[in-house]
């Protein structure tokens, strides 16, 4: 097995472990058809725009970047999720009103293409759109984020905004700027958003792990790791993945 195949094997194993992994590539948008509050939680009824957005009961769906479990569906194609108090308090999903559009993505299949980046649907913080600037046909959108997320962002790195995999154009303490092409504006909720609106932010999980290791003082020798007789990927392969 070549090195590239081993990397693909490792990715599939990671996906199997996480199970509810997403890519940040929005499949369709949907409309909040109803919101029912009960016991500190909120039942969200979402009507996908795409008629073929089929989801099994118990499966995970990223709703504006928040990983939620499908509890039921009806004959009209409406999907029902419950956002608990913790989710409402830590994300912008609690600010989603009746009739508002949301981004939707089903969990990635283990044999699917990873065209965006690894997204877990675990929101790190709620950001606020601070500024929009035209740049030809694109829009440079600046989003205020908590300063503690600065080490997890990098220019040309990945970030998830309302479930959308985007590239960071500029990273500053307290804000990131992203470039939105016309297709993104038209096919996601980014075209609906305006200055002052709240958005869900999820930083790159790889950046989080690397930052955690650096803080812990872990030293990684990539050259020596590549020359080991039995690598982690080899061990994974032995397990039959």
Answer yes or no: do 45 and 139 share one domain. no
The residues, ordered by sequence, that sit 6+ positions from 169 with a Cβ below 8 Å of its Cβ are 140, 155, 177, 178, 179
Q: Is residue 151 one of the residues assigned to a domain?
A: yes
User: Please, what is the Cα angle at 43 between 40 and 46, to 5 degrees?
Assistant: 150
35, 44 Cβ separation under 8 angstroms: yes
User: Which H helix or E strand runs over 177?
Assistant: strand 175-180
Cα-Cα-Cα-Cα torsion 158, 109, 79, 84, nearest 10 degrees, comes to -60
Q: Could you report the per-residue pLDDT of 21-60, keeping only the tens digit for each?
A: 899 999 999 999 999 988 889 999 999 999 999 999 999 9
Q: Is residue 21 one of the residues assigned to a domain?
A: yes
User: Is 0.85 topped by the overall pTM?
Assistant: no
Q: Could you report the per-residue pLDDT of 59-114, keeping only the tens digit for each?
A: 999 999 999 999 999 988 999 999 999 999 999 998 877 889 999 999 986 666 66
What CATH number does the domain containing 49 carry? Answer: 2.40.30.20
Look at 152-161, 216-225, 226-235 and tell me which has the smallest mean pLDDT.
226-235
201, 208 Cβ separation under 8 angstroms: no
State the Cα–Cα distance between residues 208 and 51, nearest whole angstrom.
36
Answer yes or no: do 192 and 146 share one domain. yes
155, 169 Cβ separation under 8 angstroms: yes
Answer yes or no: do 14 and 97 share one domain. yes
Q: Could you report the per-residue pLDDT of 139-193, keeping only the tens digit for each?
A: 999 999 999 999 999 999 999 999 999 999 999 999 999 999 999 999 999 999 9
Maximal C-alpha separation, the chain: 58
Q: Is residue 222 one of the residues assigned to a domain?
A: no
Domain extent for 37: 3-106
State the Cα–Cα distance between residues 47 and 30, nearest whole angstrom.
5
């Amino acid at each position: 097995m070549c090195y590239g195949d081993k990397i693909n094997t490792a990715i599939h194993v990671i996906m199997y472990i996480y199970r509810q992994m997403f890519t940040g590539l929005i499949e369709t948008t949907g409309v909040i058809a109803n919101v029912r509050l009960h016991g500190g939680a909120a039942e969200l009824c979402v009507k996908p725009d795409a008629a073929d957005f089929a989801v099994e009961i118990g499966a995970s769906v990223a709703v504006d970047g928040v990983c939620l479990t499908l509890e039921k569906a009806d004959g009209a194609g409406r999907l029902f999720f419950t956002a608990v108090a913790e989710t409402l308090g830590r994300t912008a999903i609690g600010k989603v009103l009746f009739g508002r559009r949301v981004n939707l993505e089903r969990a990635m299949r283990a044999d699917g293409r990873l065209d965006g980046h690894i997204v877990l649907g675990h929101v790190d913080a709620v950001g606020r759109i601070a500024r929009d600037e035209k740049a030809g046909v694109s829009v440079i959108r600046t989003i205020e984020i908590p300063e503690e997320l600065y080490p997890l962002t990098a220019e040309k790195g990945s970030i998830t905004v309302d479930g959308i995999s985007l590239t960071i154009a500029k990273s500053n303490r307290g804000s990131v700027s992203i470039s939105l092409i016309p297709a993104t504006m038209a096919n996601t909720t980014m075209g609906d958003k305006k200055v002052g609106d709240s958005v869900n932010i999820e930083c790159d999980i790889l950046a989080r792990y690397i930052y955690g290791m650096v803080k812990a003082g872990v030293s990684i020798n990539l050259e020596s790791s590549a020359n080991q007789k039995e690598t982690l990927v080899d061990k994974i392969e032995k397990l039959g993945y």
